[in-house]
Amino acid sequence: MQGLVECVPNFSEGRDSAIIKAITDAMISIEGVTLLDVDMGADFNRTVVTIVGPPEQVLKAALSGTKVALERIDMTKHSGEHDRMGAVDVVPFIPISDFTMDDCVDLSIRYAEHASREFGLPVYLYAESARFDNRVRLPDIRRGEYEGLSEKLLDPTWKPDYGPSEFKPKMGVTASGARNILIAYNVNLDTDDKASANRIAGKLRTSGVIKKDEDGQKIIGDDGVVQRIPGKFESLQAAGWMFNENTAQVSMNLLDYSKTNLHSVTEAIRSEAALMGLKVTAGELVGLVPLNALLDAGRFYNSDAGDSDHTELVNAAITGLQLDVLDIFNPNERIIEWAAGSI
């Protein structure tokens, strides 16, 4: 078995569909690669592409897309709201099944080696692939954005891991790495009070909330750092948001669903909402989700989970998480492995 890998390259172009089509056409020209999603954002002037397939084919597809993007995107003419530093801004590799994180680290290194050698592209390694502490977090690498690159690249601290340490005005720089799959998941409440959603988010998210004294002032520790009350879950980002003018939601990123799963956060939100006299009205998954994440939820919500097949468990998860309330939830399109035709 070859394994299954997801790659989610971000390109600094979100307005010209012809350029994005040329990039994605190059990627899916590689046999065995499936295009799962293309998310173009005009305001951000950025497109997020999701592909999946066997590791070697995904690597070839990422490089093929990079080649076209570097030919078609000119960063000297780029503007947009999202932080960015290059035509091919970031290329993460994500293990889905029968492929390890270490294997994805190797893929990211091979991507960086090839892209720097063939295209002259400066590449930083980040996340699980990072070789320096200041390069683990993508926001730290992006700090200063494209406009600050000419000065940043003069600093030996920011010498790229691969490729020339020089400012390439047309292409900028790229970050590549291996990371866990991120599940974007929102839970709607029967209230229009965003503050209520935010209070729930603060109790759940890893970073928790800021400690305050009796006068409502932030408590500063002896080290000069603001003290926080940790939240309930690991690897969870969360905030209160508005789904529409009448509906507040807890908006979340599950950074590692093996540590914090969908049903646990959903039930915690239901419990916290009940204490406020509120109810959960719907769940919403943004983008695609790995099969195991829904199977875990299905086992929780299905009392006969031991005798159930994958389809029955997925259906139990859809009902338990209320994923079919806002819109039709088609598991054949929304589950990564099923959309890729691997099962």
The CATH code that applies to domain 183-339 is 3.30.70.670
Is 82 among the catalytic positions? yes
The superfamily in CATH containing domain 4-178 is Formiminotransferase, N-terminal subdomain (3.30.990.10)
Q: What is the pLDDT of residue 305?
A: 66
Q: What does the alpha-carbon distance between residue 117 and residue 108 come to, in Å, rounded to a whole number?
A: 14
Q: What is the pLDDT of residue 267?
A: 98
* 229 strand-pairing partners: 209
Mind listing the pLDDT tens digit for each residue in 181-200? 999 899 999 999 999 999 99
Query: Could you tell me which residues come within 8 angstroms of residue 26 by beta carbon, excluding any fewer than 6 positions away?
Result: 61, 64, 65, 67, 68
Q: What is the pLDDT of residue 343?
A: 45
How many CB atoms neighbour CB 141 within 10 A? 24
Tokens of 72: 């078609």
Listed in sequence order, the DSSP H helices in 205-323 are: 262-275, 291-301, 310-320
pTM over cut 0.95: no
> Where are the domains positioned within the chain?
4-178, 183-339
How many CB atoms neighbour CB 117 within 10 A? 11
* 237 strand-pairing partners: 253
The residues of the chain scoring below 70 in pLDDT are: 1, 305, 342-343
What is the crossing angle of helices 310-320 and 262-275, to 10°? 20
Three-state DSSP at 141 gives helix
| Buried residues in 24-62 as b, exposed as e (16+ CB within 10 A) | bebbbebeebbbbebebeeebbbbbbbbbbbbebbbbbb
CB 132 within 8 A of CB 124: no
Which of 82, 114, 263, 310 is the catalytic position? Answer: 82
Q: What is the pLDDT of residue 220?
A: 82
CB 254 within 8 A of CB 228: no
